Amino acid sequence: MSAPGAYLRLLRIGWVLMREGVISALPAEDLPPPARAFHGFAGLLARRRTKREDRSGRLARAIERLGPSYVKIGQFLATRPDVVGAGFAEDLAFLQDRMATFPVEEARAVVEASLGRPISDLYLHFGEPIAAASIAQVHPAIVLRNGVEEKVAVKVVRPGVRQRFARDLEAMYLVARLQERFVAYTRRLRPVEVTRTLEQTTKIEMDLRLEAAALSELGENSAEDPGFRVPRVDWERTGRDVVTMEWIDGTKMSDVEGLRRAGHDLDALADTLIQSFLRHTLRDGFFHADMHQGNLFVDPRGMVVAVDFGIVGRLGVKERRFLAEILYGFITRDYRRVADVHFEAGYVSGNHDVASFAQAIRAIGEPIHGQPAETISMAKLLTLLFEVTELFDMETRPELVMLQKTMVVVEGVARTLNPRFNMWKASEPVVGGWIRDNLGPKRVLSDMKEGLHAALRLAEAAPEIARKTEKFSRDLTTMAENGLRFDAETAEAIGRSEARHSRSGRVALWVIALALAVIAWRMF
């Protein structure tokens, strides 16, 4: 897409935000006079009905009016409070991924094109859509498996959504580049890199084979976990634009009264939810990063079932140890250790003072120890921690921000089930066990085992390394004694290449000079 096209899309975004009252709802106290004047002008252009809504309602309406691509962008930015601010992230979290459905005939055509088979060969019945989101919609269907009819859910990508998203993303890149260039204090947040992450995660989400793979991986990881499971994938009926999975008959976690009527223990469900999330995070380093109430069900057996794996997060071993040591440090009030972990991980630059950083950490931790355990929020703790690290120039860590945001959502769901939910008590069996296994004597044994494996691999490669080192030494000696020599053909080829590059360089300089002259003439 051309730069003028991106500017036009940006102007459309600004117009919609003004008309829906989003800009006029922003605080204007700290704005410079020109920006304050524009803020007042935007208020005059806002629709009257928007003035009766709060900012989150206005923002949701504006983004839904802009289209499915912007709903997805808004949902992604809701996971990045470090970029858009906590207030906007909270507003964006209310975005409803409910879009108008597209016709079942189009869905059938997408399925047949993706799987290369007639719809009648794949399903005994393929029903009307029951839910539609920004990227795909879901249909109920019936398949015949081992002579038995089985109900399945079929998720189908919206026709043309990739092309629309690519066009809309160009405007996002433009905003990010302008932000990096003109708003110096936001460069730490790497807005262009954030946009690139958005592009990558959405491309992954649009390939339903990858969502199926995430379902499969988490299913294997959690096969023995108590009280938690995910739907089974039907790989025969899964492709880039369609994924078929087990149909879940259950009650949504958003329906608290329905869960209570079904006889489920809400306190136990809250514990199971947070413990499952922490197992996936600490044990596996792979977690569902969109665990809001609409993506969580409770089946008739009382099992928590997670669906919609379009957004997932991963943590490496270093990040998992970092997270566990931080939590352990706060629990034991060892703030110097929490500070040391940040420096050891390279998250905070070594030019800062460790003692000063530990003092800032203490300012977060000490107030917590005077509160009742059920009022302490682990997610809030991490939020405060990231706010403090900003003072010490800690660069944005997208994987940790996604973890923190997901933890806020999961903890919020748990508290809707049990208002007196004790996060620390529920987490202790998982976090405590992981700390004992990975930060105590078992960790030393594990590190020794990994070191031994590395040493064995090095020993196996030693003869080849020695041979190559000996040859390299001989070549260096020969070069030192005789100089670096080329044969006649090689020297001639180098000469031709240099001449060609010199001519190309001169031509390029003339083209650039001519272009600058034309631009200057048009301007003046």
- Tell me the one-letter amino acid at 303: M
Asked if residue 310 is part of any domain, the answer here is: yes
- The boundaries of the domain holding residue 86 are 3-96+164-200
At residue 523, the pLDDT reads: 41
Are 480 and 493 members of one domain? no
Number of domains in the chain: 4
Residue 325 counted as domain residue: yes
Distances in Å between the alpha carbon of 452 and those of 194, 268, 436, 455, 462?
39, 43, 22, 5, 15
Residue 340 lies in a domain: yes
CA distance 106 to 159: 8
Q: Indicate which residue of 82, 91, 97, 290 is catalytic.
A: 290
| Assigned domain for 145 exists | no
Residues 509 and 405 in one domain: no
Q: What is the b/e burial string over 199-209, where b = at least 16 CB atoms within 10 angstroms of the residue's CB?
A: bebbebbbbbb
Residue 281 and residue 187 share a domain: no
Kindly state whether residues 412 and 299 are assigned to the same domain.
yes
264 and 360 fall within a common domain: yes
pLDDT at residue number 246: 95
What are the angstrom distances between the C-alpha of 505 and each of 292, 385, 492? Answer: 56, 51, 20
pLDDT at 95: 66
Q: How far is CA 163 from the centre of its chain?
A: 21
- Do 46 and 29 lie in a common domain? yes
Decide if 69 is inside a domain.
yes
Cα distances from 112 to residues 33, 133, 237, 504, in angstroms, run: 58, 21, 10, 50
Residues 327 and 419 in one domain: yes
CA 297 to chain centre: 22
Spatial separation of the C-alpha atoms in residues 443 and 450, rounded to whole Å: 10
CB 152 within 8 A of CB 247: yes
479 shares a domain with 402: no
> Which residues in the chain land under pLDDT 70?
1-7, 9, 25-32, 35-36, 39, 48-56, 79-87, 90, 93-98, 184-186, 188-189, 369-370, 373-376, 378-379, 390, 395-398, 440-460, 462, 466, 472-473, 475-524
d(CA 84, CA 106): 36
**Joined tokens for residue 66:** 């802009």
Q: Reduce the DSSP state of residue 494 to 3 states and report it.
A: helix
DSSP string for residues in 311-332: SEEE--HHHHHHHHHHHHHHHH
3-state SS record for 383-395: HHHHHHHHHCCCC
Please give the C-alpha separations between residue 503 and each of 312, 490, 491, 496, 500, in angstroms, as whole numbers: 51, 20, 19, 11, 5
How far apart (Å, rounded) are the C-alpha atoms in residues 337 and 345? 12
- Tell me: the pLDDT tens digits for 344-399? 877 787 788 889 888 988 888 887 766 776 666 766 777 777 777 767 777 666 67
CB under 8 Å to 203, separation ≥6 — which residues? Answer: none
Q: Are residues 373 and 457 both part of a single domain?
A: no
Identify whether residues 480 and 490 lie together within a single domain: no
Say if CB 229 and CB 219 are below 8 A apart: yes
Domain boundary among 409, 439, 469: 439
Measure the CA–CA gap between 231 and 244, rounded to whole angstroms. 10
Res 500: pLDDT: 54
Instruction: Tell me how far CA of residue 139 lies from CA of 106, 114, 154, 155, in angstroms.
Output: 12, 16, 5, 6
Structure tokens at 201: 């995660």
User: Tokens standing for 8?
Assistant: 């036009």
Same domain, yes or no, for 435 and 503? no
Rounded Cα distance between 406 and 390, Å, is 20
Q: Is 265 one of the catalytic residues?
A: no
Q: Are residues 341 and 278 in the same domain?
A: yes
How far CA 279 is from CA of 205, 301, 320, 382, in Å, comes to: 24, 21, 11, 18
Whether 112 is in a domain gets the answer no
Tens of pLDDT, residue by residue over 420-469, are: 888 778 888 888 888 888 876 555 555 555 556 555 666 667 677 767 77
- Helices (DSSP H) in 154-255: which residue ranges? 161-182, 191-206, 208-221
Distance CA(333)–CA(361), nearest Å, equals: 10
